[in-house]
Amino acid sequence: MALLWEVWQWLNGELLQMKWLFNLVKLLVESVWGLPISEGVGGSIHFFIYDSLKIFLLLGVLIYGISYLQSYFPPERTKKILGKFQGVTGNLMGALLGTVTPFCSCSSIPLFIGFTEAGLPLGVTFSFLISSPLVDLAAFLVLLSVFGFKIAFAYVVVGIILAVGGGWLINRLRLEKYVEEYVWQMKIPASNLPELSRRARLAYAWGQVREIVGRVWLYILVGVGIGAVIHNWIPRELIERVIGVNNPWAVILATLVGIPMYADIFGTIPVAEALFAKGVGVGTVLALMMAVTALSLPALILLRKVIKPQLLGVFMGVVAGGIIFIGYLFNALAVVFK
């Protein structure tokens, strides 16, 4: 057992946290450029180079593997699987499949129409729509690398709970009348999609790596840049006063700031990492990450085309309320994450 633990520690340190990269960049910054990383300038440069390289490396490898897996769960198949479940199990399956079905906000309209037309309860569709941007296999592994197992695991569990709970509540509220009429009138034939060859799956995975890295690289660099500034220049006392554990408004503030921001989860992680290191509560950090990823303006604008403002409002309220609740819960349980 002790040996296994050591092997895990080594794998975690070298592969996920990339200590070798940390040391390599340290060597570059300290020995080549002569800037000690314990000081502001050297520390910022080190954080920026190490963190962006680490996230890009992890992202490339992870998206390749995960996209291959995702090619087995196109939304057309997910729709069929979800039709077999009733009640809360349906919400749970919706939330779980939301994590493995490839999805971008640009396909949320056909997806919403397809699910609704297939007779899936509104709440199941919302469980899917909440978990899909929020809980992501790649995000889980990056969190694992940056924050360690406990927080990564906690993030996934609360993300799923939020998706299941939110969907369940939307079901109970009987909001079907707030879906645009034309959605109900659509008639969609059963899809008969060809099975993919292994080669097509690998090509798909590679295409996803190029597309996702192409889409998020700027968010990552901006996120790491902000993280580097927080990490080395903003005094700990200031951050603690504004969103520290002793400010009872911290979680609400983090959520409200996060919602209008449109960034990818990967751009949010370095900011969260730097805030966490400066003593911000784990619940506050999770609330910020969830608010940035779960609700974004472009996705809401697209959703408005299939649902009426009342339902859109309920959706936003449920998600924001859930995030705030989770934030306070985790801050209260913070001892577990020390």
Strand partners, 307: 179
Does 188 contact other proteins by CB under 8 A?
yes
Phi, psi of 136 (to 5 degrees): -140, 135
To the nearest whole angstrom, how small is the minimum distance from the Cβ of residue 107 to other proteins?
A: 5
Among the listed residues 2, 3, 32, 190, the single contact to other proteins using CB under 8 A: 190
Nearest to 203 by CA among 193, 191, 211: 211
Strand-pair partners of 179: 307
Tokens for 196?
A: 């993919």
Q: Is 235 exposed, middle or buried (0-12, 13-18, 19+ CB in 10 A)?
A: exposed
Under 8 Å between Cβ of 266 and 223? yes
With H, G, I as helix, E, B as strand and everything else as coil, classify residue 179. Answer: strand
Q: State the DSSP code for 105.
A: G
* Binding residue (CB under 8 A) for other proteins from 11, 27, 81, 106: 106
Residue 13 tokens read as: 């340190």
Closer Cβ to other proteins, 214 or 235, answer by number: 214
Rule CB under 8 A: is residue 297 a binding residue for other proteins? Answer: no
Instruction: Figure out which of the listed residues 192, 195, 246, 335 binds other proteins, where binding follows CB under 8 A.
Output: 192
**3-state class of 185 per DSSP?**
helix
211 part of the interface to other proteins, by CB under 8 A:
yes
Choices 102-110, 144-152, 274-282, 291-299 (CB under 8 A): range interacting with other proteins: 102-110
Q: How far apart are the first and last CA of the chain?
A: 24
Q: If you ran DSSP here, which 8-state letter would residue 247 be given?
A: -
Identify which range of 100-108, 142-150, 166-174, 246-254 contacts other proteins by CB under 8 A.
100-108
Residues in contact with other proteins, shown as a per-residue x/- string from 18 to 57 under the rule CB under 8 A: ----------------------------------------
Shortest distance, position 127 Cβ to other proteins, whole Å: 17
Is residue 76 a contact point for other proteins (CB under 8 A)? yes
By CB under 8 A, name the one of 102, 121, 167, 322 that touches other proteins.
102
DSSP output for 43-70: HHHHHHHHHHHHHHHHHHHHHHHHHHHH
Tell me whether residue 114 or residue 123 sits nearer to other proteins (CB atom).
114
> 91 near 125, Cβ under 8 Å?
no
Closest approach of other proteins to the CB of residue 112, in Å? 9
Nearest to 63 by CA among 199, 168, 202: 202
Could you tell me the smallest distance in angstroms from the CB atom of residue 76 to other proteins? 6
**Exposed/middle/buried for residue 3 (C-beta within 10 Å: 0-12, 13-18, 19+):** exposed
**Contact between 114 and other proteins per CB under 8 A:** yes
Member of 13, 36, 110, 313 binding other proteins (CB under 8 A): 110
The Cα–Cα gap between 304 and 312 comes to 7
CB of 229 to other proteins, least distance (A): 32
Q: Which stretch binds other proteins (CB under 8 A): 164-172, 183-191, 262-270, 280-288?
A: 183-191
In the bound state with other proteins, the residue whose beta carbon lies nearer, of 34 and 189, is 189
Task: Please answer whether residues 127 and 166 qualify as being in contact, where contact means their C-beta atoms are separated by less than 8 angstroms.
Answer: yes
**Residue 332 in the binding site for other proteins (CB under 8 A):** no
Nearest to 216 by CA among 135, 293, 322: 293
Nearer to other proteins, 30 or 76 (CB): 76
Query: Which residues make up the interface to other proteins (CB under 8 A)?
Result: 71, 74-76, 79, 102, 106-107, 109-111, 113-114, 117, 186, 188-194, 200, 203-204, 207, 211
